[in-house]
Structure 1
Amino acid sequence: MPFIDREKEMAALESAYANPAASLFVVYGRRRVGKTTLLAEFCKGKRVLYYLATEESITSNRAAFREMAADFLQNELLRSAKDASWETIFSTLFAQSCNEKTVIVLDEFQYLGKADKAFPSVFQRIWDTQLKSKNVEVILCGSLVHMMMEQTLSYSSPLYGRRTGQIKLKQIPYAYYKQFFPEMQEQELILYYAVTGGVPKYIELFHQGSDIYNAIYQNVFTPQSFLYEEPEFLLRHEVQDIGSYFSIIRSVAAGNCRLSDIAASLSISATSLPKPLKTLCDLDILEREVPPTEKNVETSKKGQYRIRDNFLAFWFRFVYPMRSFIESGHAEIAMQRLQSGFITNHVGYVYEDICRNKMWELNAQGKLPFLFDRVGRWWGGKDTEIDIVALDTNDRSKILFGECKFHQNTQMQLSELRRLMSKAAAVQWGTANREEYFILFCISGYSEELCHLAESDPHILLG
């Protein structure tokens, strides 16, 4: 599979490499997101010592690293120094000057700190006394997000303040999917993105399917498939009480979005939820949404939680509730349920996210009537919800409302614009005579009436 996206991350690593000063980069992110691939691409053609830490003892890791360093230097004396300390190994690595910058990658760095809690302090001493004055770029990489944050980024970490840069690697945006599937039309691309969610490993697996449903069946809907138990695998090393976290995600997937609703659905106190919810947000599994019209986003009582990760949202909606059928050999029943609700209960929401991201692109390109600094979903009361509301918090005279429809074979009609205009009246924000704009997104296009209206009215936009 081709190396796609990651331009900003590569630029940051290359900039540090080009700088004559030493650099210490922290690269972290969830499993399967492509960290190792990014580093492999960056390391091409460079003088590199790459070490993948394991969950073995710190003594075993040190011995393995010493062997790699000895191979790297072709140094038999180091190879025979069985009791060499970490400090000795690193001092030997840089005992002789080299004109070419050396890149040292410690992958799965968190396992070293897990095996020996003192290791971050040991490495901090090595950096301060040896490495920071050398011609070196050190990259600490890890896939257990919480451990990496604690060991390298938190204020309590011995390495705090030493790093010269950090990259939290995330999923590849939808905008790049055409490069993965160049023959696909946009409607089908969105279906694939709705399940794989920009995770390179998942994209690679789904390349093998002849269509989206066949790919889902092969890779998710059989107990032996790679992704059948993926959510459990992702959470197993990140949290201790995996059952409690699963229950929270399942509750959110079932439509319990407010903290009080999640607590009620699980029959627990709402005061016990902020910590696990924050953990799930740190892991990019959940996110807290607030209507863009709220004055104080952080303290707003209108906050709602949603599953941020496309694959996990898909899995908890269509796999987890159907595991009994799948494991009893009746996956066809699960597939029938999937096909009846896939578009309306999952893809439609993913399409809304795609459109909101497109709003930022249009905003940056100056293709909208005004520049905004907030965009998001808006809700008020029980039944009133607007897919897109965009506004400028410094100019309350203009506001933009949007509607997104993933109609596979039906064009968007004028009646849907009128419904949007009606709902917009419920949004209390801005001046009494604010100027209102409306933008529509539909995967199957727009009726002639809508097209003519958009041509004649600058307040109506078609995405």
Structure 2
Amino acid sequence: MDKPADMFDRDYEWAALTRFVTDAQPGATLGVVSGRRRQGKTFLLEAACEATGGFYFGATEATDAESLRRLSTALTAHVLPPSPYHFADWHEAVDALLALGSERPVPVVIDEFPYLAKANPELPSIIQNALRPLREQRTASRTRLLLCGSALSFMGRLLSGNAPLRGRAGLELVVRSLDHQLAAQFWGITDPRLALQVHAIVGGTPAYRREFARGDSPSGPGDFDDWVIRTVLNPETPLFREARYLLAEEPDLRDTALYLSVLGAVAEGNATRGGIAGYLERKATDIAHPINVLEDAGLLQREADAFRANRSTYRISEPLIAFHHAVMRPVWPQLERPGNAARVWQASRRRFVANVLGPHFEQVCREWALHHADPDLLGGLPAHVGHGVVNDPPTRTSHEVDVAVVGVADGTKPPLLAIGEAKWNDTMGIAHIDRLRHIRDVITRTGRYDTSRTKLLCFSGTGFNDKARRAADTSPDVELVDLPKLYGTLRP
């Protein structure tokens, strides 16, 4: 299949779909496509159907009977049979979809599948039965049935545990957000500092540029403040309320106020379970369920402490939601009044840097170490990149490590490939390097990791002084990573 000319990147996803859709082996097969909203899943699947003459059906929130009628109408328009389809139940409908592949491999897409399953919980079992081995309708078909959905909690359960469709799928494709480097290219931003500022607000969601901001991208570093005011903080744009809608669209989030409060607590810097409970003035056991639901929905990410067993922290995984809770939610009545955006943004900039930009920069540094850094630079391929707190008993202090790169264990102890510190607004010097050296010595004494080849990484959004550069030139264990290195080669 030829990828559409106007599709940015998505080479991996398109190749996976191509292999699945054009597979000539006999027998109908099942694929599952998931991902958070606005990532371009529908665009991918519609393009695949258009390239191969496949059938696409987008479900909506409706009763079971209405959905069957809509499918009957759509399939009639696609096949043009002698008489229109009128499916009595989903057994008939699924068999009709399998019949589409009687002559050749053909994709059949059911988008927003969770809506259909909510109205008829038996639907996954019906599809399982239709795809059972040796069933004539399955063996005589080469339909490539693709179920797609944005409700991550539901889609995650579709193929897990004792779910009816477990073991039936030949494709499980997750469409993820663009990483920081691709997002900068997508937004047409060549200045790495500006690119990270924009990414800290809208992340790598493609729809936010094309549909929600109508192609409005900052023209340069000096336009960033005005861009925030005219897009994200403007009540007239869809971006203004998008963070609230993302929460409302998750079917498992019923007590919205409680989930908003949990996210608000994390945005305020309360990253531990105990910290969240204290912020909400509740017991830790009372917030276990909402935290788990937010994790399943892909809105909250749990990260284990790299240096303390059984300790973990939480972060908001969607940048726009983090921005909303840190900057917009505390002053929402002010923002709803037209003309107040500039005034609010001027008063919120410091909060944005401390609560949004700084933590986001640290996360981008961790992702760079995991996915972009040359393994030769790190001394090996990372198995895990996280962060944590190192206790220093002799001095009765503790040290935060922003980036901890752990390698693959070949012996008794896993190698600690690197530890790093990330500073968005600080020019880093020799004191930062000395601090990392001390922390490395403390970790060595604990005996948990092999630190014989641990490198020291300094990440800075503003650069490094001469002493730090001389230390990096003369010490092979010191590496300085600035914004150009984080972003690689940007092009318009």
Normalised by the length of structure 2, the TM-score is: 0.84
Q: 1:99 to 1:316 in 2, by over 3 A?
A: same
Unaligned residue ranges in structure 2 (runs of 5+): 392-396, 482-492
Q: Indicate conservation of the 8 Å contact 1:397/1:430, yes or no.
A: no
| Cα displacement string for residues 250-279 of structure 1 (whole angstroms, at most 9, x for unaligned residues) | 111112122122112212221122222111
Shift of 1:157: 3.0
**Corresponding letter in the other structure for 1:250:** G
CA distance in 2, matches of 1:271, 1:212: 42
Q: Which residue of the partner structure matches residue 161 of structure 2? A: 155
Range with greater deviation from structure 2 (428-437 or 164-173): 428-437
The one of 451, 458, 463 aligned to 2:476:
458
Q: 1:336-351 residue pairs with structure 2 within 5 A?
A: 336-351=346-361
- The answer as to 2:77 corresponding to 1:71 is yes
Q: Which residue of the partner structure matches residue 142 of structure 2? A: 135
Q: Which residue of the partner structure matches residue 488 of structure 2? A: none
Shift of 1:361: 3.5
Q: Which residue of the partner structure matches residue 177 of structure 1? A: 183
Q: Secondary structure at the match of 1:5?
A: coil
- The answer as to 2:178 corresponding to 1:164 is no
CA distance in 2, matches of 1:230, 1:433: 45
Size of the aligned set, in residue pairs, is 453
Q: 1:429 to 1:356 in 2, by over 3 A?
A: farther
Q: Which residue of the partner structure matches residue 216 of structure 2? A: 208
Q: 1:304-319 residue pairs with structure 2 within 5 A?
A: 304-319=313-328
Unaligned residue ranges in structure 1 (runs of 5+): none
**Corresponding letter in the other structure for 1:225:** T
The one of 441, 446, 449 aligned to 2:459:
441
Shift of 1:87: 3.4
Q: 1:132 to 1:456 in 2, by over 3 A?
A: farther
Shift of 1:429: 4.1
Shift of 1:49: 0.6
Shift of 1:98: 4.9
CA distance in 1, matches of 2:140, 2:121: 26
Q: Which residue of the partner structure matches residue 277 of structure 2? A: 263
Q: Which residue of the partner structure matches residue 485 of structure 2? A: none
Shift of 1:369: 2.8
Aligned-residue Cα RMSD (Å) equals 2.6
Q: 1:214-229 residue pairs with structure 2 within 5 A?
A: 214-229=226-241
**Corresponding letter in the other structure for 2:387:** R
**Corresponding letter in the other structure for 1:312:** I
CA distance in 1, matches of 2:406, 2:97: 55
Q: Which residue of the partner structure matches residue 52 of structure 2? A: 46
CA distance in 2, matches of 1:385, 1:103: 50
Q: 1:281-360 residue pairs with structure 2 within 5 A?
A: 281-294=295-308, 300=310, 302-329=311-338, 330-360=340-370
**Corresponding letter in the other structure for 2:204:** G
Q: Which residue of the partner structure matches residue 232 of structure 1? A: 244
- The answer as to 2:32 corresponding to 1:23 is no
CA distance in 2, matches of 1:289, 1:41: 36
Q: Secondary structure at the match of 2:233?
A: coil
Q: 1:47 to 1:272 in 2, by over 3 A?
A: same
Shift of 1:307: 1.4
Shift of 1:402: 1.0
Q: Secondary structure at the match of 1:11?
A: helix
Q: 1:169 to 1:371 in 2, by over 3 A?
A: closer
Q: Secondary structure at the match of 1:166?
A: strand
| Cα displacement string for residues 377-431 of structure 1 (whole angstroms, at most 9, x for unaligned residues) | 1224676212112233444565522122223xx6432232223334444433447
% of aligned pairs identical? 26
| Cα displacement string for residues 72-93 of structure 1 (whole angstroms, at most 9, x for unaligned residues) | 221131x1x5354433344445
Shift of 1:42: 2.9
**Corresponding letter in the other structure for 1:448:** D
Q: 1:171 to 1:371 in 2, by over 3 A?
A: closer
Q: Which residue of the partner structure matches residue 387 of structure 1? A: 402
| Cα displacement string for residues 177-216 of structure 1 (whole angstroms, at most 9, x for unaligned residues) | 2321345211111111111111111133444144332332
Q: Secondary structure at the match of 2:86?
A: coil
CA distance in 2, matches of 1:40, 1:63: 21
CA distance in 2, matches of 1:132, 1:350: 50
Q: Secondary structure at the match of 2:54?
A: strand
Q: Indicate conservation of the 8 Å contact 1:33/1:200, yes or no.
A: yes
Shift of 1:453: 2.1
Q: 1:366 to 1:40 in 2, by over 3 A?
A: farther
Q: Indicate conservation of the 8 Å contact 2:405/2:416, yes or no.
A: no
Q: 1:389 to 1:7 in 2, by over 3 A?
A: same
Shift of 1:95: 5.1
Normalised by the length of structure 1, the TM-score is: 0.89
The one of 429, 444, 447 aligned to 1:413:
429
- The answer as to 2:395 corresponding to 1:375 is no
Shift of 1:438: 0.8
Q: Secondary structure at the match of 1:164?
A: strand
Q: 1:37 to 1:263 in 2, by over 3 A?
A: same
CA distance in 1, matches of 2:100, 2:477: 68
Q: Secondary structure at the match of 1:403?
A: strand
Q: Indicate conservation of the 8 Å contact 2:379/2:417, yes or no.
A: no
Q: 1:263 to 1:397 in 2, by over 3 A?
A: closer
